[in-house]
Amino acid sequence: MKKRNFSNHAWMYIFAGVLIGLIIAAGFRWTHKIQAEPTAMLTSNPAPAAQAPDLQGISVAQQLSNTFAAVAQEVNPSVVTIFTETDVKVQQQFSGTPFDQFFGKDFFGQFYQNPQPRGNLKQMGLGSGVIVSSNGIILTNNHVVKDADHIKVKLMDGREFKAKVKGTDPPTDLAVITIDAKGLTPLPFGNSDKARVGDMVLAIGSPLNPQLEHTVTSGIISAKGRSGVGLSKYEDYIQTDAAINPGNSGGALVNLRGELVGINSAIATQTGGFIGIGFAVPVNLAKKVMDDIIEKGKVVRGWLGVYIQSITPELAKAMKLKTAKGVIISKVQKGSPAEKAGLKEEDVILRLNGKEVHNSTELSTWISSIDPKTTITLEVLRDGKVQTVPVKLGELSPNVQQLASGKVTNSRIGLQVSNITNTLAKKYSLPSGLSGIVVTGVKPNTIAADVGLQEGDVIMKVNRRTINNVDDFNKIMGKVKAGENLMFYLRRGEGNFFVAFTVPGK
């Protein structure tokens, strides 16, 4: 009996164990299932779910890549590499010592690995240029070809040509050179006025060395109308982040239609290399300069006839202006287009032909790029009211200073002068109430340098006639002919003296 009863109980225990095991097993599977998802969510690098590729995105990127490649292929043959060679005379720097009489002048030189050179050296230069005509007209920067004795142009197909300078324009740092070639591929001109900040562009040139010729870089137009950079007299630069380096100067900045929108000119850098800020001369300005050089043999510029300065925050506050924009007229030249149009001192020029004016350099550049006899429209703030003033521009001549701060350069004698301002009086320690004009620059190897004129000299009389300002100086110098004598009455430091010389030919 006991054995049977034990057997029945055993089967009951076995059945119960199996049932409990099934429940537990089912419970384990259920617990694992609900914990699997949170565990996966906490994993730092989960396995990405398989996704279909973004075919539309890839297609757009491929189209942009194809556009870059097509533009580069189309434009590159129109960009050239420019090699310059300049003869430089080198004088021996070693002037001698008391030991020379005992040892000879070359005694110490033998101990130096790099003795001072003698005679003439060849200074080599590298730049870029843009073919703008099928018959060999090339646009580049003035600083690329300046003072060069020999210029060579290399095309993309490897052909090389000797080049001649057709004309230069230092105030905009542009130059036109020519080669004896036909059937070239010119680059079409775009419209830099319509170029927008953010537009994609390509820069093409020969940076750093000839082995990197026809380098293509991409970027956007970062800004427009950059002025006051200090690179040239007239500035209205396009700023770009397309990589530009030494050697790119004179090369092409093109849009995605393959049109020329700028001539690459310079970079802002703290390292000597590109850091993301490059500047190009707008093609509209470059084309105007080029056309004048080719058709007229010189650059013809508009002339307004006022002295101006930029509005500073202090001036804006004193004049109760809303913003520190525009330029204020400090003086109107007699007989100038500005005087004839009724412009006055203390007028604030806000707009030119509807374009907002930001500073004096910008306005100066705009006026200079407009042909003489063109009637422009100025928006002027006078006595708190905005007025519209039409002005028919005159022509800027070498002896007339347009939109200036009272400066003029007379290239015939190599002299730069300026009206005496508080800043210049302080700089050159000039006494208050001194009449005349101050010399702010003397070009080497000119008659002014030969007779000993110096920066800081004050010209008080020319040929016994009193000089009160730059206008007086211009009137006299404009009538002086080559071969005539000039006598300056000068003040230097605490003393006064005369300087006389013969005016050289043009």
Gap between the Cα atoms of 235 and 280, Å rounded? 10
Contact 328, 350 (CB under 8 A): no
| C-alpha dist (Å) from residue 116 to 93, 105, 147, 222 | 7, 12, 24, 46
- Catalytic one among 128, 169, 173, 232? 173
The phi, psi pair for 250, rounded to 5°, reads: 90, -5
Catalytic residue of the set 143, 214, 336, 418: 143
- List the structure tokens of 103: 């040892």
Tokens of 147: 């003072």
Helix (H) or strand (E) holding 122: strand 119-131
β-strand pairing of 437-442 with 415-419: antiparallel
User: Which run of H or of E encompasses 263?
Assistant: strand 260-267
d(C-alpha 185, C-alpha 133), whole Å = 7
CA atoms of 109 and 197, how far apart (whole Å)? 58
* Token code pair at residue 358: 């930001």
Where do we find the tokens 């080029």? Answer: 290
Category of 250 on φ-ψ map: left (φ > 0), alpha (ψ -120 to 50) or beta: left
Q: How far apart are the first and last CA of the chain?
A: 145
Helix (H) or strand (E) holding 175: strand 174-179
Q: Which of 192, 227, 232, 249 is catalytic?
A: 249
Q: Is 149 designated active site? A: no
Could you tell me the sign of the dihedral formed by the alpha carbons of 447, 452, 453, 456, in that order?
A: positive
Q: Is 143 a catalytic residue?
A: yes
**Residues with catalytic roles:** 143, 173, 249
